[in-house]
Chains A and B, each alone.
Chain A
Amino acid sequence: MSEPLLVLDNIAKNYGAIQALRGISFSIGRGEVVALLGDNGAGKSTLVKIIAGGLEPTSGRMLFEGKEFLAKSPAEAKAAGIETVYQDLSLCTNVDVVANFFMGREITRKVLGVPVLDERAMEAVVAKALANAGTRIPSLRTKVEHLSGGQRQAIELNRFVHWGGKLVLLDEPFAALGVEQTRRGLDMIRQVASQGIGVVIITHIMQQAFQVADRIVVIRQGVVAGDVARNKTSPDAVINMITGETLAGAGPAG
């Protein structure tokens, strides 16, 4: 395998005396889908926030494309090519679909040297992106507060597919989706990965992990309890890793 996209080396995070992460090491390759599993409070979301620039680790280091990497803010992570979809939706419900899609990356044109929003260009891009993904939203100028939970999540998913980058982190992305939309979401993940983008997906649902992932990483009590290829393990074995009954199948880090 070529050089991995992201390497986590002994990442630890303490909140005072509490050790949320006690030294996490694993890596993600280009075009690889890694499912991150673990019980509630195992430290999955903390880990995602550290990679995405929302939290700083207490110790440890990361290599992104072979270079030492530490995002001090989500803006830095984004600039490096890391997109994140969070568990609690990251949409501004008080503005319309187009504004949310382009949040922080608006298309502008200069009028007398002042950047002015190019609404028409942005609307065209959003319409195309949503049509490609088969998402139907009545009007792109509707404020997001008037949309259903499923439509909102669809916007977020389409947003990461569109912006892509190099690595995508998904924290429970399908919590509000129905069966059909979830299936489409999983398809989107495969499609993104086939473009050579690394994907980390956190999920609680074993079936989803086995449907979409190339590799399964289990975190338990702040350490990696298992790191196995999907086709070399079974749901039962993974459940045992999550609950801590065995360490069978735990592979080496990196």
Chain B
Amino acid sequence: MNPRTRHALELVLDNLVWFMLVFVLVVFSLLIPNYFQLGIFANIIEASSVLGVMSIGLALVIIAGHMDLSVESVAALSAMAVGILFCSSGIGLGVQLHPEWLMVPVSLLLAVLVGGIIGAFNGLLIVRVKMSAFIITLASYIWVRGLVLVVSGGRSAQDLAPAIRWFGIQRLAGLPLTAWIAIACYVIFSLIMAKTPFGRHLVMIGGNETATFRAGIRVNRNLIIAFVLAGAIAGLAGWLLAIRTSGATANLGVGLLFNAFAAVVIGGVSLKGGVGTLPGVYAGVLLLSAINTAINLMGLPANFTQVIHGLLVLAAVLLDAFKQTIRQRLA
């Protein structure tokens, strides 16, 4: 095989999820009436912003060879914190700040801070006490959701302050600002992962933690930062969720974790660590969203979504194994 075909084949393998996304969009556009519209495509992107942002944090820690099951609950807690402070009905306190726009940075900072603190808690336990990330973050998944129930008393907050809601309503080039925030997050974190020493070190830690430690990379510090980032990004997802629903309920975002896992795996991130890129994850998120939209348009019962997502994850894992075999042939 000459180097050029090999190169081309590698390129296809590395970006397989994008080809799948295009394929699925073309098929749906041909087969489903009314699917091929700009509005539908905008909707696919819009509907995937919360999941998309959450998947970034999850992908970071998985690429570094760990795991964070708490992102869904963290997002809910951040959303609830924002809801309680800045909603005017239900359990909302209706806090007003002047000028009004001040509520935007304050609520955003609050959401990110809440997430970051829980991420730091997870990271410190995992790195310093050397416990399994699976167990620690499973515990956080449970207790943080419990905390949401405790602070809300099981009730909800509605009518988020208009100044914050503005991000969900104001559109730029057909997309609400919340979707642009998700896209910006992907651009920023993709650059961090691909172009900075920190990103490079995370990938290498996921590949061979012992080797990176021996090479003098501060593994513990990098891992804690990764968990703080995962928490903070989940907090940002929670902020977007609060805007999207104009408030917060106690069971907000339930089930998002599994969609995030699906997106990350479909996007080509290996659960063993060290493999995967963020643009791939975004394609995975869009793929899930495209399929959801198709199901809605076809008028299928929404329950089908879950079956299809499950099968898609299976397909992604099988595909990953298949890619490995092809790669070994190439080598």
Given contacts A94-B203, A94-B275, A104-B201, contact A84 B214 (CB under 8 A): yes
CB distance from B182 to the nearest CB of A (A): 21
- Asked if A92 is at the interface (CB within 8 A of a chain B CB), the reply is yes
Q: Chain A contacts of B331 at CB under 8 A? A: 145-146
Do residues A103 and B195 form an inter-chain contact, with CB atoms below 8 A? Answer: no
Do residues A104 and B275 form an inter-chain contact, with CB atoms below 8 A? Answer: no
- Asked if A149 is at the interface (CB within 8 A of a chain B CB), the reply is no
Q: Chain B contacts of A86 at CB under 8 A? A: 214
Task: Give how many B residues have a beta carbon under 8 Å from the other chain's beta carbons.
Answer: 24
A94 interface neighbour in B206, B214, B216, Cβ under 8 Å: B206
Do residues A117 and B200 form an inter-chain contact, with CB atoms below 8 A? Answer: yes
Alpha-carbon separation in the docked complex, A21 to B188 (Å): 50
- Asked if A195 is at the interface (CB within 8 A of a chain B CB), the reply is no
Q: Chain B contacts of A103 at CB under 8 A? A: 204, 211-212, 215, 217
B195 interface neighbour in A79, A84, A117, Cβ under 8 Å: A117
- Interface mask (B193-229 → A, CB under 8 Å = 1, otherwise 0): 0011100110110111011111111100000000000
Do residues B196 and A117 form an inter-chain contact, with CB atoms below 8 A? Answer: yes
- Asked if A154 is at the interface (CB within 8 A of a chain B CB), the reply is no
Q: Chain B contacts of A115 at CB under 8 A? A: 196-197
- Asked if A127 is at the interface (CB within 8 A of a chain B CB), the reply is no
Do residues B208 and A114 form an inter-chain contact, with CB atoms below 8 A? Answer: no
- Asked if B238 is at the interface (CB within 8 A of a chain A CB), the reply is no
Q: Chain A contacts of B116 at CB under 8 A? A: none
How many residue pairs at the A-B interface have CB separations less than 8 Å?
A: 77
- Asked if B274 is at the interface (CB within 8 A of a chain A CB), the reply is yes
A75 interface neighbour in B196, B206, B211, B218, Cβ under 8 Å: B218
- Interface mask (A72-109 → B, CB under 8 Å = 1, otherwise 0): 01110111000010100111111100010001111010
- Asked if A121 is at the interface (CB within 8 A of a chain B CB), the reply is no
Alpha-carbon separation in the docked complex, A248 to B245 (Å): 84
Do residues A95 and B200 form an inter-chain contact, with CB atoms below 8 A? Answer: yes
Alpha-carbon separation in the docked complex, A117 to B331 (Å): 26
Q: Chain A contacts of B215 at CB under 8 A? A: 74, 78, 90, 103-105
CB interface residues, B 5-29, toward A, < 8 Å: none
B197 interface neighbour in A54, A74, A79, A108, Cβ under 8 Å: A108
- Interface mask (B53-83 → A, CB under 8 Å = 1, otherwise 0): 0000000000000000000000000000000
Do residues A104 and B216 form an inter-chain contact, with CB atoms below 8 A? Answer: yes
- Asked if A237 is at the interface (CB within 8 A of a chain B CB), the reply is no
CB distance from B103 to the nearest CB of A (A): 29
Alpha-carbon separation in the docked complex, A117 to B200 (Å): 9
Given contacts A74-B215, A84-B214, A103-B215, contact A92 B207 (CB under 8 A): yes
Given contacts A104-B201, A114-B196, A117-B200, contact A54 B206 (CB under 8 A): no
- Asked if A116 is at the interface (CB within 8 A of a chain B CB), the reply is yes
Do residues A54 and B196 form an inter-chain contact, with CB atoms below 8 A? Answer: no
Alpha-carbon separation in the docked complex, A79 to B207 (Å): 24
CB distance from A144 to the nearest CB of B (A): 9
Closest partner residue, chain A, to B328 (CB atom): A146
Do residues A91 and B211 form an inter-chain contact, with CB atoms below 8 A? Answer: yes
Given contacts A89-B211, A104-B217, 16 further A-B contacts (CB under 8 A): A74-B213, A75-B216, A79-B216, A86-B214, A90-B214, A92-B274, A94-B204, A94-B208, A99-B200, A103-B217, A104-B212, A104-B215, A115-B196, A115-B197, A116-B195, A117-B200
- A residues contacting B by CB (< 8 A) are 52, 54, 73-75, 77-79, 84, 86, 89-95, 99, 103-106, 108, 114-117, 145-146
